[in-house]
Structures are given as C-alpha cells and as structure tokens.
Amino acid sequence: MLARYFLPRDLHPGAWWVWALGLAVAASRTTNPWLLLTILAVACYVVIARRADAPWAMAFRLYLYLGAFIVAMRVLFRFVFGGAEGSTIILALPEIPLPAWAAGIRLLGDVSAESLLGGLYDGLRLATMVVCLGAANALANPKRLLKAMPPALYEVGTAVVVALSVFPQLAESVLRVRRARTLRGGATGRRFRALHAIIIPVLEDALDRSLRLAASMDSRGYGRAGRVAARARLATGALMIVGLIGVCVGVYATLDGSTPRFLAAPVLVAGLVVALVGFRLAGRRVHRTRYRPDRWRAPEIVVATSGVAVAVAFFATSGVNPTNLNPSLVVLSWPLLSWPPLLGAAVGLVPAVLSPIPEPVTA
Amino acid sequence: MRTLVVLAVAALTATLAPVARAVDHSKGYPGYCRNATGVTVVVDFQQLGGTTIVRCDPRPTRGTGLDAVKGAGFQIEGVVRWGEGFICRIENRPSAVEEIPVAGDDGYREACRDTPPASAYWSYWHAGNNCQWEYSQWGVKNRDFVPGGFEGWSFSLNATADTNPTPRIAAVRPGTTGQPCDAPDEPEPTTADPNARQPGAAGAQNGAGGGSGGSTETSTAPGRDALPPPKPRTGSPDRAEADDPSGNVAFTGGEKARDVTEVVREQSGASDYAPWAAGGAVVLLGLATWLTARRRKRSREA
C-alpha cells in the first residue's frame, strides 16, 4: 500500500499548480517578512526535493534571480523617489529640486528606515509570489497540464499553457546555449559580446520552437473549426472570454483586501456562470479523446490540500487579526509573529515528504 | 552593496529603537499649552470610549497638522494606501481587533489598509484660541496648525457632514477665557486635487516646517475626497466664540496610557518565540535545500 503510494511517478500537474497557487495566495495576504521567508524556504525545499530532471524544472533558479531583482528594485525606488515616510532618517541624500508642475514627485532627499523596510516587505511579497509560480512551473510538466485541460477549455487553455511555459522555455534555452558556449570554450572576457552570443541563438531557438509547436498542433487538429456555424462559434467564444474576464476580476478582488467588495463575490459568481454556459456550449461541439489521462490519486489530493490549507490558514488568521500579517512600520520594531500563520505556512512542506519522487528521466 | 549596508543599519536601528510608549512622553507635555507658543492637540475618542487626551506640542516653529499630533507625543497610524496622510488610528484606537458598531456594516474592524468608511473615521478639526472648532477642509499634511491654537481629533461614528461631533473640549487655553477669538482665515481649497497644499503652508516649501518627516512627504495623497464634504461656512472674519470651558468632558494628558506596542502584541496574540522558530525554520530549510540539491546533482552526474 505504502510502496504503491510512493511509487516514483510524475504527479498530476494540476496538483502542483493548486499547491503553488495556495502558497502564492497566502503570500499575497501578508507583508510579514518572517512568514514570507518561511513560504519562500518551503517552496524552495519542495522544488529541490521533488522536481524532475526535466529542462523546465532547471529554470527554477532564474525565478529566484527574478525575485531578488524585484526586491532590489523596490528598495532602490524608495531611495530614488522619496523615502521619508517615517521618522528614522538613516541617510540624508541631497534632494534634486523639481519644477512646480512635478509637485508630488520627489527625487532623492532623506531616506527613512521605515520606508526602506516598507519597500523591502512589499518587494519580498511580490518576489515570494513569483517564486511560488516558478515552483509550479518547475514541478508541473506543462505538456501534461495542457493534456489535462477540459475539452471546452482547449482554445483558451492552449494560449494559457503556451504563455505560462514561455519563461521556462526561454530559461531552458539560455541554459542550453550557455552550456554549449562553455563546451566550445567561447571567450568569456567581453560581456557585451557574450550577451550578443547568447541572445541571438536564444531568440532563434524560440522562433524555431514555436514554429515546431504550431506545426505539431496543426497536425493534431488544434484550431479545427469543425462543422459549427460561425454565429454559434462567435457566441461561445464571447461567452467564454467574458466569463473568464469576470472570473479574473472576481478572483483579484477576492484576494486583494482593498478592492471594493462588490467586485469580489458577485463578479466572481457571475463570471463563473457565464463561463460555465460557454463551456457547456463549447464542450458540446468539441470531442477530443485522451490517451492515458492523468488521474487524481491520493498523493495528488494530499499535495493540493496542503496548498489550499496554507491559503486557508492565512485567510483565517487575517480575518481574526490583521496586525500579524501586515506589520506596522509606524514604530520601528521587529515584526510581530504569532503561531497560527507560521504553522499554516509549515503545512506547505507536506509534499516534500508525502508525495512520490518523480520518475527518473530516461534519456 | 550600499543597500545591504543600509538594511543592516536599519535592522540594527530596529533592535536598538527605544520602546514606544502609547504616548511618547519625550515629545510635548500633558495638558493645554501654557502659552501661545505651540499648539494644543485634543484627541476625543467619542463613542469608541476612553478618556479624552489633551497634550501640547510646544514647537516654536511652524508645522503641519501631522507635525502637531506627532510632536504632542501621540501614536498615530496611517492607512497603508495613503500613508500618514490619512490617519486611521490614534493611540491604537480603533484597534485591529475592535468591532466598531458601524450602521449597516456589522462587526466592522479597522484594518487600516484603505480609506476608512465615511461612517467611522477620525475627523480632523482645528480652532484658534477661544474659537469654535472648525472641520478641516485640508488634509493633515497640507495645512499648518494655528500657533497658540488647537488641533482636534474626534472619532466620527455614523455621523453625517452636519452631525460630525466636535471635540468635547472647548478650544480655550486656561487663563485666556473671555479673550476674543483670534484665528487667521484659512483659504479654502480651490481644486479637488488631494495633493494641493494650503498656500504658504510649511509643506509647500519643502521641509520649512522642520517636522518629523511628514512635511516633506509628497508621494501619498490623503483621500479626503472620500469623506462627506465639510460643512459650508461663512467666510466672515469674526468667528464664533468658543463654548464655555465648563462644559468640557474629563480629560487626561495620557500619562497612564499603556504602551501601544505592548497592547498590539497582546491583541495580536504574537509570541516571542514564533519569530525565532520562523528564523530557525528558514535556516534549516535552506540547509536542507542545499544538501538535497547537492545530493541530487551528484547522483545526476554519476
């Protein structure tokens, strides 16, 4: 029984996406650096422990670089554009005077510790969310994710999967080109030339690959209009797009505490209803079969549940008390932390233990 | 690199920063201002409950309303969206765990994220000595206090523009009763631009107020436009005289107010050990990540 549970195999990509989105949603609720760092560490550990040796999985490091870049930029901007919210001035830069029409914009000037920390916390939150998405991309196989899409979502799903896998693909190209350069013993001296020698092959690679993808999709019947009246296609398309836009707005409003509430549940429900009608209509005309579809087994459910549990824990504690999740910067002090959200974040670690290791790649 | 150094300095400062009191007794002094220098700040909790606090910011220079309330030693918190330009908590009231009986929104709690609702917010008043309170037409960062006068903060709950409660302390310094009201006329805002400053205010010439950072801040806009418009007032120079001070409610100088940081820690259920546990977990996980990555890399290369 246990041996079967832990039999090495690739999990359903949806499970990893649910888990990673759960962590990202939790991160979006807080600016507490303790919690954000815990979520980051949890995501990194699970990725390292459970990623396959596939090319898209190796791109995770680039998401970490991107996160570091985001944090650095946020802090830098506090230096450049007015960082004087707060009373602990730690750096007095000369202020650059601006003409009257630019009132409201400040260049340089005093920089306070509070505003720098504010930038750091805010940047850390965005970086954590980006790294969570990177974790999903590293753990879930994008091709199998496309396969798992419901038939009605094929058109939209294809676009989404292609968009989601652009970055991992590019990252993989960069790694490949760099490895090739190293093997050839290419000159590493001049930075500009090195950039030149990486970017052109990468772009060429991307173009080649998308042509190949288009050809393969074409041969598999994607974009097939079938024998459906143009008007019916237009109606289902419009319903689906409008519904999905509604769902996006609703999800955004639900997750962002400062958006007007009437944009949250009502728009979300309305969007879902419209999209479901669209799916029904589209699903009736699209018939596609799947070869050996991925199934949701116990490990998938465990992985997805742990992600959802993290998000729920953060929602619950922020409902009870928001002070913990958004540390105040009025008085400079170590951010407070209570146990419930921290233990909630730790639940995200479950997949590192309670999921099968990926199938070894046979090259 | 410099960022790192600065962050290290910031972290160090954070550890060394003195514990903030509810009322920072190093700033200002309790009670009314003793003379015409500085400005008296009145904080009336109204229906939130709690004794009204009166303190003086004795600064001889000019300053904004924000400088006054901070300079008098009050602990304030601005909303996340607008920063200190929109004050949502004074002395940790209404706290994050306090349910405010807002009509039509049961169980409302002030999260200090966005502009508070028009039915539960800190209304901002000002008055010259011996004058009637006036609802401020300007944001707290955008006007100068009246030297020798009063700045009032009164919690407005389920009130309209006409029923906004004035601070229940008459704007009269002890010993000046009966003197005529003297307050300069404040120009009304001419635009709807929330960044507009009162002409000649300290904030207009950057830093002239010499305040604690508030006067030089320009990036955030107080969203006063979300609140009911101030009562239209006649611009007649002879203003209404102040009420009789004998009608004042009881007040303190905030001498016995509890440490805000301590209260927040209690209310949030924060634990002293949780941050250590978080730090430890991050370090352990980082170590485990590194070890696992090394092991997997070796097995891949093998």
CB count within 10 Å of CB A223 equals 11
Global pTM reads 0.72
Q: In percent, how much of chain A has pLDDT > 70?
A: 82
Q: If contacts are CB pairs under 8 Å, which of residues 74-113 in chain A contact chain B?
A: 75-76, 79, 81-82, 84-91, 95, 103-106, 109-113
B140: closest CA of chain A, how far (Å): 14
Contact B57, B65 (CB under 8 A): no
User: Considering CB atoms only, which of B15, B96, B269 is closest to A338?
Assistant: B269
Q: What is the CA radius of gyration of chain A?
A: 24
- Which position has the higher pLDDT, A324 or B141? B141
Q: Which residues of chain B have pLDDT under 50?
A: 1-21, 202-225, 233-237
Across the interface, do A324 and B270 touch by the CB < 8 Å criterion? Answer: yes
Mean pLDDT of A9-22: 90
Q: What is the pLDDT of residue A38?
A: 93
pLDDT exceeds 70 at position A233: yes
Domain ranges of chain A: 10-288+295-352
**pLDDT at residue number B14:** 43
Reported as a pLDDT band with limits 50, 70 and 90, residue A17 is very high
CB contact under 8 Å between A112 and B3, yes or no, is: no
| CB nearest A112 (choices: B78, B213, B286) | B213
pLDDT (mean) for A194-208: 79
Which residues from B are below 8 Å from A331, CB to CB? 17, 20, 75, 260-261
Q: Which of B219, B277, B289 sits opposite A342 (nearest CB)?
A: B277
A74 contacts in B (CB within 8 Å)? none
Q: Of A132-146, A252-266, B209-223, which range is least confident?
A: B209-223
Average pLDDT over residues A40-56: 87
CA distance A38 to A100: 45
Q: How do strand B100-102 and strand B105-108 relate by DSSP bridges?
A: antiparallel
For A278-309, write each residue's pLDDT tens digit. Answer: 878 777 766 667 777 778 888 999 999 999 99
pLDDT of A1 strictly over 80: no
Q: Which of A23, A28, A36, A48 to mutate to test the interface with B (most CBs of B within 10 A)?
A: A48
State how far residue A232 is from chain B, nearest Cα, in angstroms. Answer: 44
| Helix/strand/coil for B8 | helix
Confidence of residue A231 (pLDDT cuts 50, 70, 90): confident
Distance, in Å, from the CA atom of A95 to the CA atom of A107, rounded to the nearest integer, reads 6
pLDDT of residue A67: 94
- Note the pLDDT of residue A363: 46
User: Complex ipTM, two decimals?
Assistant: 0.76
Average pLDDT score over chain A: 80
Interface contact B212-A42, CB threshold 8 A: no
- Distance from C-alpha of B261 to C-alpha of B263, rounded to nearest angstrom: 6
Query: pLDDT tens digit string along A64-105?
Result: 999 999 999 988 888 887 666 666 777 777 777 777 776 667
CB A161 within 8 A of CB A168: no
H or E segment to which residue A217 belongs? helix A191-219
| Chain B neighbors of A44, CB-CB under 8 A | 285-286, 289
In this structure, what token pair is assigned to residue B246? 């004998």
A159 touches chain B (CB under 8 A): no
Q: What is the dihedral of CA A295, A297, A299, A304, to 10 degrees?
A: 70
Instruction: Let me know: does B46 contact B100? Beta carbons within 8 Å.
Output: no
Give the pLDDT score at A84: 61
Q: What 3-state DSSP class applies to B74? A: strand
Q: Where are the domains of chain B?
A: 17-268, 278-302
pLDDT digits (tens, 9 = 90+) for B39-57: 999 999 888 888 889 999 8
- Measured distance CA(B125)–CA(B164) in Å, rounded: 10
List, as ranges, residues 33-72 from A with C-beta within 8 Å of B: 34-35, 37-38, 40-42, 44-45, 48-49, 53, 72
Q: Do B113 and A258 touch (CB under 8 A)?
A: yes
Model confidence band, residue A2 (pLDDT cutoffs 50, 70, 90): confident
A262 Cβ contact partners less than 8 Å away, ≥ 6 residues apart? none
What is the tens place of the pLDDT at every residue in B200-257? 554 433 333 333 333 333 333 444 445 555 555 444 445 677 777 777 888 887 777 7
Reference B62, options B165, B184, B155, B227; nearest CA is B184
Question: Residues 294-333, chain A: which have Cβ within 8 Å of B?
Answer: 321-324, 326, 328, 330-333
Distances (CA, A) of A288 to A142, A221, A228, A230, B186: 19, 10, 16, 20, 73
* Interchain CB contact of A339 with B (< 8 Å): yes
Residue to test with chain A: of B266, B285, B300, most A Cβ within 10 A: B285
